[in-house]
Amino acid sequence: MFIDLDGFKRVNDTHGHEGGDELLRQVSSRIIEGGFNLTRDQIENCTTAFGELRQTCPERLVFARFAGDEFVVLMPGDHSVSSLAEHANDILKAINRPFMVCGNELRIGASIGIAQVTTGSDDPRQLLRKTGVIRFKVICLVIRCLPRHW
């Protein structure tokens, strides 16, 4: 899964990097807890303590900040499309609830792209491109469905 926050730049511009960092921490917790019903201790890390990629594949869920306001979730194992969609829906519900940052109630949204690795696929860049394309198609679909007077 590729998760891109909607409205984060506005929060960062209004409340500074400290407010933006606090929001990212809260969002991360909500994705892990609300989207997967896990704690931080129950997810795996793809890197060593020195930031180098591990030599073994993870066996449990991996959650990472990809860049700025983007996150990646890797879910090893066989997952149905409906299961992945349910997790995405749970993540969106968790993110759509108000956040308290710097004493202010804030609302943001998110766009999520989902892609599955097929047997024999070994190119992680291809998977990330796939999730990005799917996320972009969803954004375009949503924009086309919005009333024109927004």
Long-range Cβ contact pairs of 93-97 (< 8 A, separation 24 or more) = 93/34, 94/30, 94/31, 94/33, 94/34, 94/35, 95/5, 95/27, 95/30, 95/31, 97/30
Query: Tokens 């407010």 — which residue?
Result: 19
- 82 pLDDT more than 80: yes
Query: Mean per-residue pLDDT for 4-19?
Result: 92
- Global pTM? 0.77
Confidence tier at 13 by pLDDT (50, 70, 90):
very high
- 140 pLDDT more than 80: no
DSSP 116: -
Question: Which of 45-54, 113-122, 136-145 shows the lowest per-residue confidence on average (mean pLDDT)?
Answer: 136-145
What's the token pair of residue 144? Answer: 């086309």
What's the token pair of residue 29? Answer: 């917790």
Sign of CA pseudo-dihedral 79, 112, 115, 38: negative
What's the token pair of residue 45? Answer: 């890390």
